[in-house]
Amino acid sequence: MTRVLLAGFAGSMGQQVVKLVKEMPSFEITAGLAHHLKSNDPAEYGLPAEAKLYTSLAEIPADAADVWIDFTVPASVYQNVRYALENGYRPIVGTTGLTDEQESELTELAKEKGLGGLIAPNFGMSAVLLMKFAQEAAKYFPDVEIIEMHHEDKKDAPSGTALATAKLIAEVRKPHQTAPEASESLPGARGGDYQGIKLHAVRLPGYVAHEQVLFGGKGEALTIRQDSFDRSSFMSGVKVALEKVQELDSLYVGLENIL
Amino acid sequence: MTRVLLAGFAGSMGQQVVKLVKEMPSFEITAGLAHHLKSNDPAEYGLPAEAKLYTSLAEIPADAADVWIDFTVPASVYQNVRYALENGYRPIVGTTGLTDEQESELTELAKEKGLGGLIAPNFGMSAVLLMKFAQEAAKYFPDVEIIEMHHEDKKDAPSGTALATAKLIAEVRKPHQTAPEASESLPGARGGDYQGIKLHAVRLPGYVAHEQVLFGGKGEALTIRQDSFDRSSFMSGVKVALEKVQELDSLYVGLENIL
Amino acid sequence: MTRVLLAGFAGSMGQQVVKLVKEMPSFEITAGLAHHLKSNDPAEYGLPAEAKLYTSLAEIPADAADVWIDFTVPASVYQNVRYALENGYRPIVGTTGLTDEQESELTELAKEKGLGGLIAPNFGMSAVLLMKFAQEAAKYFPDVEIIEMHHEDKKDAPSGTALATAKLIAEVRKPHQTAPEASESLPGARGGDYQGIKLHAVRLPGYVAHEQVLFGGKGEALTIRQDSFDRSSFMSGVKVALEKVQELDSLYVGLENIL
Amino acid sequence: MTRVLLAGFAGSMGQQVVKLVKEMPSFEITAGLAHHLKSNDPAEYGLPAEAKLYTSLAEIPADAADVWIDFTVPASVYQNVRYALENGYRPIVGTTGLTDEQESELTELAKEKGLGGLIAPNFGMSAVLLMKFAQEAAKYFPDVEIIEMHHEDKKDAPSGTALATAKLIAEVRKPHQTAPEASESLPGARGGDYQGIKLHAVRLPGYVAHEQVLFGGKGEALTIRQDSFDRSSFMSGVKVALEKVQELDSLYVGLENIL
């Protein structure tokens, strides 16, 4: 039985993790961390009756669990993960906000302690596989464009996942424009440009979060598409991370790197 | 039996029309017009042996056929259609290049002569139906974006069909931006804008000519897509025009208006 | 101000209607019908404070509202709509379960009373438009197949909407098989058959309710697709019905018939 | 400069290879094999003037080229490849018709001779990548269905590529039915079944050769799609094979195994 400490158990992502772990017979949440508690009763949060609830890092003993799952807030995540590693926990981190420097530092610390773990900005398996496959396909199909579709309230364009996909593709192909001479009668029609890769962002009500990568070659096309319909989609990736975390020999960044 | 005069029979579209008419039992090509002829033998062009070949308008008598199909060049089309109407032919015109003024003038002339006919910039049934349905759907789904995908050699963006679709949609909805506050970290990511309708143009090898209209509403989406794989696709629309031209009471512009 | 009586206001669809009407300035819910009430306070159900709550047909006076919206249960719907018409209400009915005979009878009664209204098995605008467009496109593209995708818990295949779409298409094309000689190395690979129209049903977790109609012609293809992501999608159709119900001159069956 | 012998240079696939090699500066066709020749002039087939043309295996010397590309016929392929290996050529084989036994035997022979090469039933890169990615994705998304779409003249259903994809997926997931209780009101609606994987085959005019693999998971979906628009699409895979063949240490079966 692998014991799990869940930091951020009262939040919406934390509650999804609670449900997930209940369905995994070899895992159990034995401890939870939350800065503010409405109740001291673990059952109020769907946790096992014997789970210990903590409201600060200092209260947490070194053997409360084997794995530390972190879905908290950017302001806490660095301290949390440092504390986890120093006390022998293997971290699985879905909280965003770590700088590149902090990631390096934590990776170094994990090495010293001989602990594996995972920091992942995106735990949606369909998004992670899309990025992985897109990078691989770009070696054979250098001509590629990205279309992402999101709900009308999304404020930034293109989405972080679309941009991350473009970066992965750019690593494996020579920068070039596919149709450099196309002229736009409506400015922006050809989309945004990242090193010659065009990105198009659609914003419409009804849509949730969707991404397509379109590859074209002589006489053929390859398209990879992912659809996220709701937040529960992130749990498939957390599940994979939990199943693999005990075998990881270092602290990885990116779910795709442990697949 | 309806008799057809085919102007531009030696061109690639003209040759498609030759094949089409052969498969329509109630129609026959009885005359052809081409400014330059490599051969005087109709069989060389796939035409019936008894078809008359002409190389100038002046040679063509008034009773050479019932219907005048025109797939020639922008420089000739106005004169051709005027000649056709003046001599009692019902025109079906796929040649582009008529100005709005010329269209009005020809429509007026057709009225005087009591002749019906059709001028259509696009004879692809899938494209024409897409435009028709898109306009109808926009009454119920005012939030809409357009994505078109073409081969890498297409020089203009967005495509004429995509822009024509946006114009049809704009006629039936109030101008508005769907996600006005979205900010672009890559300029152009949100696409080109026509009265608040975003248009995105993809250019990739392998692709031919494709268009999607995406509608979004609360909790649902509607998508209309058309794919043109080759030039033979235009013939479905010419066939419909031939079948309806005898009943048309005036000169229509746009295949969608006779459906 | 149009006054609305809402039968079934406590159910999940009823509660969606409550939200919808609040956003429509010219409409107001003035009365509600539900057989069992947990509370006599309209505010508990999101209704205006002055709305009257009834628990049986007999209690409802003839002038409680102008329009009767019915999202109740198959066992009640016939009696409800009959009562509505007899007492001068224009009905908008989303409850399923009326037989063809009952529909005819109610249509006749509406005629006698000079009342318009709508009975609609599907209020999802994207599904209704898909069916309408599919029927129209089939006149020009007689070769067509249908693919529907639903969540893994859906028990019947194909879906009611997919079958209804096939029936509409069958009305306007001659029955024929598109590829009659294809042999199946896996039985069922070519799908289910309705008068020569092939239907394919996909069942996968993650999916909600989606339908595609694929038309193919020489060198081109046309695809119409709709996605329903959640129940709120039905409200777009109820909104259209409310806006049009006062002008309807008879009792219509099918939202597509009042578009 | 790598020298290529092209067996089957006069056929339609052979002629595609001729065009491909012309565009690859480090490769040259130095010899060709065809059983019947209309002309002895290499230029008639688009080949370099100094290319040698042979009409039987016996005429071909051991040093006519480095690589043997084979696009011939099932009846010849085994003898051809055996001859190639025995005479020191590295084979790239696109001809179908080898039995499993013959493949094993040739693999053994290549080993003895210390020669690498490739036998590939499908050289379309988009189809090959689709199969590779589908197998990988199935480890994380065990619920999956396949839809393939082909022109109306295709006689078998499902397509060989779709079935090959299902087999690759079946290797990595436990056999199970995704929605076992779904009942079919139209027999075949749920598709063909290969070890619990449903396959759906669409046949429509206009379509060429297309395949989609649909994965569904909690709250998300992943779709991989490939489109083959014409035969030129196979050349991308032949190009990859040519670029890699000199480094291959044995005779591989399946383009995906050398990517």
A13 annotated as a binding-site residue: yes
In chain B, which residues have their Cβ closer than 8 Å to the Cβ of A140? none
Q: Which partners does chain C have (≥3 C-beta pairs < 8 Å)?
A: A, B, D
Q: Which CATH class is domain C2-115?
A: alpha beta
Q: Which partners does chain A have (≥3 C-beta pairs < 8 Å)?
A: B, C, D
A9: left (phi over 0), alpha (psi -120 to 50) or beta: alpha
The pLDDT tens digits for D189-229 are 999 999 999 999 999 999 999 999 999 999 999 999 999 99
Q: Which residues have a Cβ under 8 Å from the Cβ of C86 and sit 6 or more positions away? A: C109, C113
B218 annotated as a binding-site residue: no
Contact status of C130 with chain B (Cβ, < 8 Å): yes
Shortest Cα distance, chain D CAs vs residue B133, angstroms: 20
Contact status of B140 with chain C (Cβ, < 8 Å): yes
When pLDDT is cut at 50, 70 and 90, the band that residue D174 belongs to is confident
Distance CA B87, CA B146 (A): 43
Pick the CATH number of B125-229 from 3.40.50.300, 3.50.20.10, 3.40.710.10, 3.30.360.10: 3.30.360.10
Judged by DSSP in three states, D53 sits in: strand
In chain D, which residues have their Cβ closer than 8 Å to the Cβ of C152? 143, 178-179, 216
C119: left (phi over 0), alpha (psi -120 to 50) or beta: beta
Judged by DSSP in three states, D181 sits in: coil
Q: How many CA atoms are closer than 13 Å to the CA of C178, on its beta-carbon side?
A: 31
Percent of chain C at pLDDT above 70? 100
- CB–CB contact B219 A206 (8 Å): yes
C-alpha to C-alpha distances, D105 to B137, D108, D110, D112, D118, nearest whole angstrom:
61, 5, 9, 11, 14
CB count in 10 Å sphere of residue A195? 14
The average pLDDT across A23-32 equals 97
B38 annotated as a binding-site residue: yes
Mean pLDDT (chain C) is 94
C150 catalytic per annotation: yes
Distance CA B181, CA B127 (A): 32
In DSSP terms, which residues pair with C210 in a beta bridge? Answer: C149, C227
- CB–CB contact A233 D224 (8 Å): no
Q: What type of residue sits at position C257?
A: N
Q: What is the pLDDT of residue C96?
A: 87
Task: Give which of B49, B36, B48 is closest to B10, Cα–Cα.
Answer: B36
Judged by DSSP in three states, D183 sits in: strand
Pairing of strands B67-70, B52-54: unpaired
Contact status of C12 with chain B (Cβ, < 8 Å): no
Q: Judge whether C76 and C11 are in contact, CB under 8 Å.
A: no
Q: What is the pLDDT of residue C121?
A: 83
- CB–CB contact A222 D129 (8 Å): yes
Distance CA B97, CA B121 (A): 9
The pLDDT tens digits for B54-73 are 999 999 999 999 999 999 99
Q: Judge whether B21 and B28 are in contact, CB under 8 Å.
A: yes
Contact status of B198 with chain A (Cβ, < 8 Å): yes
Q: What is the pLDDT of residue D97?
A: 87
Distance CA C56, CA A162 (A): 55
- Type and span of the H or E element at C44: none
Whole-complex ipTM: 0.85
Contact status of C230 with chain D (Cβ, < 8 Å): no
Distance CA B9, CA B55 (A): 11
Q: What is the pLDDT of residue B181?
A: 75
Q: Which long-range contacts (CB under 8 A, 24 or more apart) does D41-50 make?
A: D45/D9, D45/D10, D45/D15, D45/D18, D46/D15, D46/D18, D46/D19, D46/D22, D47/D6, D47/D9, D47/D18
C-alpha to C-alpha distances, C101 to C78, C97, C105, C109, C176, nearest whole angstrom:
11, 11, 6, 12, 31
B13 annotated as a binding-site residue: yes
In chain A, which residues have their Cβ closer than 8 Å to the Cβ of D222? 125-126, 129-130, 224-227
The average pLDDT across C61-78 equals 95
pLDDT surpassing 90 at residue D17: yes
DSSP string, B70-95: E---HHHHHHHHHHHHHTTPEEEE--
Query: Nearest chain C Cα to A226, which residue?
Result: C206
The pLDDT tens digits for C242-254 are 999 999 999 999 9
Distance CA D50, CA D53 (A): 9
pLDDT surpassing 90 at residue C182: no
Mean pLDDT (chain D) is 94
pLDDT surpassing 80 at residue D258: yes
Q: Token pair of A54, please?
A: 């903590």
Q: What type of residue sits at position A98?
A: L
Point out the residue among A224, A228, A259 whose CB comes nearest to the CB of D224.
Answer: A224
The average pLDDT across A182-198 equals 94
Distance CA A113, CA A92 (A): 16
pLDDT surpassing 80 at residue D182: no
In DSSP terms, which residues pair with A90 in a beta bridge? Answer: A67
pLDDT surpassing 90 at residue A200: yes
Shortest Cα distance, chain B CAs vs residue C228, angstroms: 4
Catalytic residue among C132, C150, C210, C239: C150
Q: Which of residues 107-126 of B touch C (CB under 8 A)?
A: 124-126
DSSP string, D219-251: TEEEEEEEEE-SGGGGHHHHHHHHHHGGG--SE
Q: Which partners does chain D have (≥3 C-beta pairs < 8 Å)?
A: A, B, C
Q: Token pair of D46, please?
A: 């688009």
Q: Distance of alpha carbon D79 from its chain centroid, rounded?
A: 19
Point out the residue among B186, B192, B199 whose CB comes nearest to the CB of A158.
Answer: B186
The average pLDDT across C2-9 equals 97
Point out the residue among B145, B201, B218 whose CB comes nearest to the CB of A190.
Answer: B201
Point out the residue among B129, B140, B230 whose CB comes nearest to the CB of C236.
Answer: B140
Q: What is the pLDDT of residue B115?
A: 97
Q: Which residues have a Cβ under 8 Å from the Cβ of D248 and sit 6 or more positions away? A: D90, D116, D117, D118, D258
- Domain layout of chain D by residue ranges: 2-115, 125-229
Residues in chain B with pLDDT < 50? Answer: none
D150 catalytic per annotation: yes
Task: Give which of B144, B127, B136, B142 is closest to B227, Cα–Cα.
Answer: B127
Distance CA A170, CA A195 (A): 7
Distance CA B73, CA B33 (A): 12
Q: Which long-range contacts (CB under 8 A, 24 or more apart) does C139-143 make?
A: C139/C172, C139/C173, C140/B125, C140/B129, C140/B236, C140/B240, C140/B259, C140/C217, C141/B125, C141/B126, C141/C215, C141/C216, C141/C217, C141/C222, C142/C173, C142/C174, C142/C176, C143/C178, C143/C215, C143/C216, C143/C217, C143/D152, C143/D204, C143/D205
In chain C, which residues have their Cβ closer than 8 Å to the Cβ of B232? 218-219
When pLDDT is cut at 50, 70 and 90, the band that residue C58 belongs to is very high
In DSSP terms, which residues pair with B183 in a beta bridge? Answer: A156
Q: What is the pLDDT of residue B96?
A: 86
Query: Nearest chain B Cα to C140, which residue?
Result: B125
In chain D, which residues have their Cβ closer than 8 Å to the Cβ of A220? 124-127, 226-229, 233, 236
Q: What is the pLDDT of residue D120?
A: 93
- CB–CB contact C227 A206 (8 Å): yes
Shortest Cα distance, chain B CAs vs residue D126, angstroms: 11
Q: Distance of alpha carbon D23 from its chain centroid, rounded?
A: 21
In chain A, which residues have their Cβ closer than 8 Å to the Cβ of B173? none
- CB–CB contact C233 A206 (8 Å): yes
Distance CA A209, CA A228 (A): 5
Q: Which residues have a Cβ under 8 Å from the Cβ of B204 and sit 6 or more positions away? A: A143, A144, A145, A178, A214, A215, A216, A221, B149, B151, B152
The pLDDT tens digits for A95-154 are 988 998 999 999 999 999 999 999 998 899 999 999 999 999 999 999 999 999 999 998
Percent of chain D at pLDDT above 90? 86
Q: What is the pLDDT of residue D10?
A: 94
Distance CA D189, CA C157 (A): 6
* Residue C158 DSSP one-character state: S
Q: At residue D215, what are phi and psi to the nearest 5 degrees?
A: -110, 140
pLDDT surpassing 80 at residue A231: no
A74 annotated as a binding-site residue: no
B122 annotated as a binding-site residue: yes
Contact status of D227 with chain B (Cβ, < 8 Å): yes
When pLDDT is cut at 50, 70 and 90, the band that residue A183 belongs to is confident
Q: Token pair of D99, please?
A: 């039995």
In chain B, which residues have their Cβ closer than 8 Å to the Cβ of C140? 125, 129, 236, 240, 259
The pLDDT tens digits for B168-179 are 999 999 888 878
pLDDT surpassing 80 at residue A229: yes
Task: Give which of B34, B36, B41 is closest to B72, Cα–Cα.
Answer: B34
pLDDT surpassing 80 at residue C93: yes
The pLDDT tens digits for D99-115 are 989 999 999 999 999 99
pLDDT surpassing 80 at residue C116: yes
C121 annotated as a binding-site residue: yes
pLDDT surpassing 80 at residue A20: yes
Q: What is the pLDDT of residue C209?
A: 94
